[in-house]
Structure 1
């Protein structure tokens, strides 16, 4: 029978930790028998990693695939617990821990190409052998230096007008206007926007799609240390409205998106990161009768400075109560 029956990490369920905040928890160690000279410790680890295959030499007489990758260590802290008299009797033992996350961390993130992850790991070692180990992954929301005041200064209006051909020789114009009171948000916040559609055709517009996209750019290196970059986009949120806008008519649609509680922050273009992010709200009118569509792209900025931490925690609490 092994000496260690189990080792557990006790943390609040589904907690989201803000960069710069503290992690308070317990390590619960259960022994089947007495353990002499144990080392019981807990570690806080944060890492980032990107990797993809890329073809090089395609424009020459040869081509081959190389692996491009990059990695970063964001935090590594260790706390070793004091064991009185250097032995533990059979039964359960509880160890309290308090660990601080550094400020200015990137958010937890995962895709096919890149990952940013954080975990707390507890272990029990006896006579240089690891007897038990447990790892719990954390959700961490990053912070940035950008300030919340930007949100009040930048109302947005995006207008797209397009001439549409249909029924062989018929033509008309559709104008799509998207308006927002601000362009800067924090994770967990509601994004409210108004879409105004002017239908100057003799056809009916039945469907309008609203989607929020994250555009990621990854920075990596080949085995010969040559710099490479790779772009990828993903759809985070999506809504579809059945508008039924009749011919030569105008309709307004007010929509709301609630942002996820954990989001990568918008990146500063002057300081490229291993994983850089930008966000875009896209409003699309599908026109099956003309085999075309109209798109309005609205750039959004996601920030979370320490000044926003109170608003962020309020948004998180309201979301958990739903």
Structure 2
């Protein structure tokens, strides 16, 4: 029987930590018997990495995939707890800890190519080896300097001439209107789509989607720089409409943003990824084998904390795996 019965981390449930804020928690160590010369430690770790395969060009005299990758270390802090008289008796022992997150961090993120993750890990070591450890992953929301004061309403319009019934033609006009296009994670995105149907056909389906465009930076085994852009659908709504011929319809839509999102950014030197967002309204026209799309850029920002503040957004709710974020979990190991 191991001398360590269990080691647990106590942290607020469903908490979202803002870059620059404070993480407070406890390590609860339960022993089956007396442990001499223990080392009880807690660590805060934040890392990111990207990896993808590229085929060689046709000019090469061989054919194989090139693995492009990159990585970054964002934070690594540790704390060792003092143990009185260098021994712990059987039973439960509680150790308090806190860590200050750096003010500049990317948000928790995962995709098929890239990952940014943060975790707190507690461990107990005897004289020679680790007896037990526990890891808990964290939601961390990155911040940006972008300010959204004095924004004007936005308006985009797309018009397309479509053909149907062999020789018949008409136009479809799609407009998107928004009070502003800058939002923080967890906010509501409210927008109005106006569709002008100047054809003799009925429009039955309109799709609204928020897309994430991520640019990844990596290196080949020969240290050649490579980049790759991947787009994914973050949020989606479908409206079943009956927009009759030669008529105009307005549709008001609302997207509730996840509480954790990568902030909008351009690629900077030394970064492994950057993110852009785009709102798209799509009118499907199966009778003409085409579609009409109106697009508007969306900016995701997050407020910086004061250097001496220690804040945490509690109860922000979980974020599903479908929204492009990892399913956070706790892991316990005994050795």
Q: TM-score, normalized by length of structure 1? A: 0.93
RMSD: 1.9
| Structure 2 counterpart of 1:226, from 210, 224, 227 | 224
Pairwise CA distance, 1:275: 1.1
State the secondary structure of the residue aligned to 2:265: coil
**Aligned equivalent of 1:71:** 71
Give unmatched runs, 5+ long, in structure 1: none
Equivalence map 1:107-256=2 (5 Å): 107-149=107-149, 152-256=150-254
Pairwise CA distance, 1:155: 2.7
Whether 2:297 is the aligned partner of 1:299: answer yes
**Aligned equivalent of 1:30:** 30
Q: Residues 272, 161 of structure 1: CA spacing in aligned structure 2 closer, same or farther, 3 A cutoff?
A: farther
- CA distance in 1: counterparts of 2:282 and 2:40, whole angstroms: 56
Pairwise CA distance, 1:253: 0.7
8 Å CA contact retained: 1:200, 1:248: yes
**Aligned equivalent of 1:19:** 19
User: Quick check: 161-170 or 63-72, which moved more?
Assistant: 63-72
Residues 196-253 of structure 1: per-residue CA shift (max 9 Å, x gap): 1111111111111000110111100011110001111111100011121101001111
Whether 2:44 is the aligned partner of 1:44: answer yes
Whether 2:95 is the aligned partner of 1:102: answer no
State the secondary structure of the residue aligned to 1:153: coil
Residues 271-294 of structure 1: per-residue CA shift (max 9 Å, x gap): 573111100111100011111100
- CA distance in 2: counterparts of 1:111 and 1:192, whole angstroms: 26
- CA distance in 2: counterparts of 1:124 and 1:313, whole angstroms: 28
8 Å CA contact retained: 1:148, 1:307: no
Pairwise CA distance, 1:153: 2.1
- CA distance in 2: counterparts of 1:65 and 1:318, whole angstroms: 42
**Aligned equivalent of 2:284:** 286
- CA distance in 1: counterparts of 2:289 and 2:110, whole angstroms: 36
Residues 99-142 of structure 1: per-residue CA shift (max 9 Å, x gap): 11111100000011100000000000111311111100001000
8 Å CA contact retained: 2:140, 2:260: yes
State the secondary structure of the residue aligned to 1:27: strand
Q: TM-score, normalized by length of structure 2? A: 0.90
- CA distance in 2: counterparts of 1:60 and 1:117, whole angstroms: 37
The structure showing larger relative contact order (alpha-carbon pairs under 8 Å, at least 6 residues apart) is: 2
Structure whose residues are more often helix by fraction: 1
- CA distance in 2: counterparts of 1:287 and 1:13, whole angstroms: 46
- CA distance in 1: counterparts of 2:232 and 2:82, whole angstroms: 47
Give unmatched runs, 5+ long, in structure 2: 319-335
Residues 52-103 of structure 1: per-residue CA shift (max 9 Å, x gap): 1111233333332111110000000001111111110000111111111111
State the secondary structure of the residue aligned to 2:262: coil
